[in-house]
Chain A
Amino acid sequence: MKYMLNPTLNPQIYAADVEKIPTRNGYGDALVELGEKNPDIFVLTGDLAESTRVLAFQKKFPQQFVECGVAEQNMMGVAAGLALAGKIPFVSSYAVFVPGRCWDQLRVSVCYSNSNVKIAGAHSGISVGPDGATHQALEDIAITRVLPNLTVVVPCDAEETRKCTHAVAEKVGPCYFRFAREKTPVITTKETPFEIGKALVGREGKDATIAACGPLLHEALLAARELEKEGVEVEVLNCHTLKPFDVETLVASVKKTGCCVTVEEHQITGGLYGAVAECLGRNLPAPLEAVGMPDHFGESGEPDELLEKYGMKAKHIVAAVKKAMGRKK
């Protein structure tokens, strides 16, 4: 095989029974690890301690835990106050509520004041499933990516979420990162490098670039394997950091491949597609196709049914790659 999978990734990645863990578990694990080391770490939640995986932290470090009740605007502001007084607060809720219900507080109390607040949006994407459209955050990247001073990260699996949680605690400044609800495939290992602002080449190729973020990175890798059978060598990038976006890695890849497809569990408008379009538009105009939510609300259903219906499975990515390649001059 000429083009190799990144050797630090899970070798079982293509197996039918690939191990699956919810990304949010990595968040809960990391918070406890952080709490052990740093008494300035604070965790806040709005009546969602269990499902955002912060219960273990609460039990272990009750003095560093603030239960804010179902009141997200206040929670964001309290976090800003804690941060401005030297603490490192993690705000834990569902992405539809945080940043969905407290964007003005995020904009002014956190970003404009440049307070060192970490915002964890759980249950993002269409794969939230049966709860339906109200609880499927498909706009959170767009409304965070637009804010000055804010870093935006979408980790792809539980291990990357764990690393991401440590990295954002380390980095001074406000940061938003999102998780999924469902168990999703283990893509990375302890050895896989993770650096905020640095995309990871998950698989090398020369014919097309797939820029993916979040658990759908797995579908992107499956699509690349399918295309390989037809002699198409696809490069797959894990673009976990939406802001600051890694222009260098994307441009280098598209220079080689000549076209790109974005893959994300988010509205196509303003999310990863938006970030990639802005990057290529400025640096290297090239055919660009999108796999994501096409300006539509979600609905109730099983996660897999929804990904199928709204076109976010490997076969849809394969079709998008072919379309992008067909547009190359």
Chain B
Amino acid sequence: MITDKRIAELEKTANQIRQDIIEMLLMAKSGHSAGPLGMADVFTALYFEIANITPETRGEPDRDRVVLSNAHICPVLYATLANRGYFPREELKTLRKLGTRLQGHSNNHFGPDLPIETSGGPLGQGSSQAVGMAIAARANAKRNDVRANGDSPLPVWHTWALLSDGELDEGQSWEAIALAGKLNLRELTAFVDRNNIQIDGFTEDIMPLEPLADKFKAFNWSVVEIDGHNIQEIVAAADKARAIAENPTVIICHTIPGKGVDFMENKFEWHGKPPNVAEAEAALRELRTLGGQIMSEHE
């Protein structure tokens, strides 16, 4: 059970990550704002509390696999990794610049010592790769069950897929969801960022997804719905997902795109653009005020 003190710490971290996202995007002069801000709490919980990965054990064969499918929100990934201690925060300023490890969409070869398992960008592809990684973990576990005395066990891990709601428009996502359901792939958990926006507008106008939870259930998934800004709920949902032995779990994270910056919140216009100098200053002022003056309910 996560303590109130730990929750309060992680809330501060998430706020710092949001400030870093604003500064990165300002320097980069291009990139996505709403999605990264909206997922800062989920990323904080996942990389600081949930997933079995640490900077000290990078590259370990039994590390949990985290697959970012909607990789256009990678500023939140980079800011989270920097705050987690994988690299100095200073490097965040290189986002999208020539020679950077922090590509416009995340890639596994530019930063091989980072816990970035694959490349992303074209939507729907992360779901399938996460299914493949979970199948591999299952195969290793089965071989461990029958291994001879003296043989060292093969690595096993849990796979966490990070998906967006808009990317579920892609047929490939449902092909992957169907296969995971068919295989009762309990080694896999997916977080869906249910922020209700995509580039051209609100998801329910562009291509309706509801009833989303029922769709996953119909594909033989367990479904948990949470407030994606509540660290306690995020961690509890992940614990539950790991404990479900029957089938894969989707954690539908209801989030506010642009969370923490009032003029960005719930505006699909902020899906794919960065703040200018004045907007960044206003955003940072707001985030710092939130961080410094409003007490966490857990403090």
Contacts and interface: CB of A to CB of B under 8 A. Distances in A.
Contact of B119 (A71, A74, A75, A108): A108
B195 interface: no
B107 interface: yes
Contact of B132 (A63, A79, A112): A79
A81 B119 contact: no
A77 to B, nearest CB: 2
A48 to B, nearest CB: 16
Interface residues of A, number: 32
B143 A105 contact: no
Contact of B127 (A63, A77, A86, A114): A77
B118 A69 contact: no
B179 A80 contact: no
Nearest to B130: A81
B65 interface: yes
Contacts of A73: 124, 128, 171-172, 175
B6 interface: no
B178 A77 contact: no
Given A81-B136, A85-B137, A109 B129 contact: yes
Contacts of A84: 108, 117-118, 129, 132-133
Given A77-B125, A80-B125, 4 more contacts: A77-B127, A78-B179, A85-B137, A105-B172
B139 interface: yes
A104 B170 CA distance: 13
Interface string A173-214: 000000000000000000000000000000000000000000
B155 to A, nearest CB: 8
B124 A78 contact: no
Contacts, number: 110
A222 interface: no
A30 to B, nearest CB: 21
B109 interface: yes
Name B's interface SS.
Answer: helix
B26 interface: no
Nearest to A77: B128
Contacts of B136: 81-82, 85-87
Interface string B36-65: 000000000000000000000000010001
A11 interface: no
A63 B136 CA distance: 10
Contact of B172 (A66, A74, A114): A74
A104 B122 contact: yes
30 contacts: A69-B182, A73-B124, A73-B175, A74-B172, A74-B175, A74-B176, A74-B178, A74-B179, A77-B132, A78-B128, A78-B132, A78-B135, A78-B179, A81-B128, A81-B132, A81-B135, A82-B132, A82-B135, A84-B118, A84-B133, A85-B132, A104-B125, A105-B125, A105-B128, A108-B125, A109-B118, A112-B107, A112-B119, A113-B109, A114-B108
A63 B139 contact: yes
Interface of A: 39, 42, 63-64, 66, 68-69, 71, 73-87, 89, 104-105, 108-109, 112-115
Nearest to B71: A108
A171 to B, nearest CB: 18
B272 interface: no
Interface residues on B, range: 35 or more
Contacts of A75: 128
A109 B107 contact: no
B189 to A, nearest CB: 14
A77 B172 contact: yes
A85 B133 contact: yes
Interface string B224-249: 00000000000000000000000000
The 10 A-B residue pairs with the shortest CB-CB distance, nearest first, are: A81-B132, A77-B128, A74-B175, A85-B136, A81-B129, A71-B175, A78-B132, A82-B132, A73-B172, A81-B133
Contacts of A83: 132
Contacts of A80: 118, 125, 128-129, 132
A113 B178 contact: no
A68 B122 contact: no
Contacts of B61: 86
B103 to A, nearest CB: 10
A76 B182 CA distance: 17
